[in-house]
């Protein structure tokens, strides 16, 4: 049974069992969906018709969503408000390329979800969102698949976006540090931490506690020592300045406080 275009009755028209079944009964069954999917011949505008979670899928392939987008609170598998129920939007064989999916307001947020309760998903926040303006976040399921783990977060409303949260520390992404430390003449080896494993470090400062205040530059790409050059044109090896196997580098010793002169500011470049 399928849709039949209804006839416009005219004077003398007779309703028979046959034409009543074809023109009326079959079409009513079709519109109810009793005999298969219902195809709408043109765009459909509805208000408060679809309740989130009440339908298995909405086919939007034949409708104009490229300019107006797909809006609404009800779309978890495509887009939903935080903590809301959802309506799955599925189109088999359709990648959705060229379509625009968005929330209706710049103060809203939505999720692009890869599955059910603990599937991987993105959170996208509007530029005027109250707590996360313009942010982009990604989540994956934990090992037990019973909770989310935040994989990354890029905070918005900034001209210099950086990863600000996630299981990958920010320091591991940039893998370099240009900074200073102040010597304390502790008389012992001292670790300068950077938050990442260094592959190379260069330190600029005064040489030990020399009275002649020679300036020295230390270079190290090893966990077992370094070379340093002094302003009196001497080049020497040092076992006290070296990289740490996991985090930053080491300075100083129990005799000369190498690269650790008290109250002196040392500059360094560390590259991971």
* Cα 26 to Cα 157: distance, rounded to the nearest angstrom: 57
Question: Per-residue pLDDT tens for 155-170?
Answer: 888 887 777 776 555 5
Q: Residue 74 pLDDT > 50, yes or no?
A: no
Task: Confirm whether 141 is domain-assigned.
Answer: no
Global pTM?
Answer: 0.41
Determine the number of helices (DSSP H) and then strands (DSSP E) in the chain.
3, 16
Task: Confirm whether 208 is domain-assigned.
Answer: yes
Give the Cα-Cα-Cα angle 192, 196, 198 (nearest 5 degrees).
70
Q: Residue 195 pLDDT > 90, yes or no?
A: no
* Cα 165 to Cα 123: distance, rounded to the nearest angstrom: 13
Task: Confirm whether 58 is domain-assigned.
Answer: no
**Position with higher pLDDT, 164 vs 111:** 111
What is the domain extent for residue 15? Answer: 1-39
* Cα 11 to Cα 267: distance, rounded to the nearest angstrom: 100
Task: Confirm whether 46 is domain-assigned.
Answer: no
Task: Confirm whether 237 is domain-assigned.
Answer: yes
Number of domains into which the chain is organized: 2
Task: Confirm whether 64 is domain-assigned.
Answer: no
Question: Per-residue pLDDT tens for 220-241?
Answer: 998 888 887 777 777 888 888 8
Residue 101's DSSP bridge partners are 70
- % pLDDT > 90, the chain: 12
Question: Per-residue pLDDT tens for 23-71?
Answer: 787 888 887 878 878 777 766 665 554 444 444 444 444 443 333 334 4
Question: Considering the chain, what is the average pLDDT of its residues?
Answer: 74
* Cα 68 to Cα 236: distance, rounded to the nearest angstrom: 70
Task: Confirm whether 199 is domain-assigned.
Answer: yes
């Amino acid at each position: 049974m399928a849709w039949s275009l209804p006839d416009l009755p005219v004077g003398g028209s007779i309703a028979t069992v046959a034409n009543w079944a074809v023109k009326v009964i079959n079409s009513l069954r079709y519109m109810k969906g009793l005999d298969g999917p219902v195809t709408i011949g043109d765009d459909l505008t509805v208000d408060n018709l679809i309740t989130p979670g009440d339908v298995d899928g909405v086919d939007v392939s034949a409708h104009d969503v490229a300019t107006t987008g797909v809006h609404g609170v009800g779309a978890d598998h495509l887009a939903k408000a935080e903590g809301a129920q959802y309506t799955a939007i599925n189109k088999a064989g359709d990648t959705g390329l060229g379509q625009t999916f968005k929330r209706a307001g710049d103060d809203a947020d939505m999720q692009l979800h890869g599955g059910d309760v603990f599937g991987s998903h993105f959170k996208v926040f509007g530029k005027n969102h109250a707590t996360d303006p313009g942010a982009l976040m990604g989540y994956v399921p934990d090992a037990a698949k019973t909770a989310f783990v935040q994989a990354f977060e890029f905070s918005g409303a900034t001209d210099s976006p950086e990863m600000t949260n996630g299981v990958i520390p920010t320091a591991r992404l940039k893998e370099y540090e240009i900074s200073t430390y102040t010597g304390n003449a502790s008389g012992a080896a001292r670790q300068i931490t950077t938050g990442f494993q260094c592959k190379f470090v260069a330190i600029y400062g005064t040489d030990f506690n020399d009275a002649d205040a020679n300036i020295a530059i230390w270079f190290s790409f090893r966990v077992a020592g370094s070379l340093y050059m002094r302003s009196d044109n001497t080049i020497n090896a040092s076992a006290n300045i070296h990289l740490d196997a996991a985090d930053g580098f080491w300075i100083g010793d129990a005799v000369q406080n190498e690269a650790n002169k008290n109250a002196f500011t040392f500059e360094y470049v560390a590259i991971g």
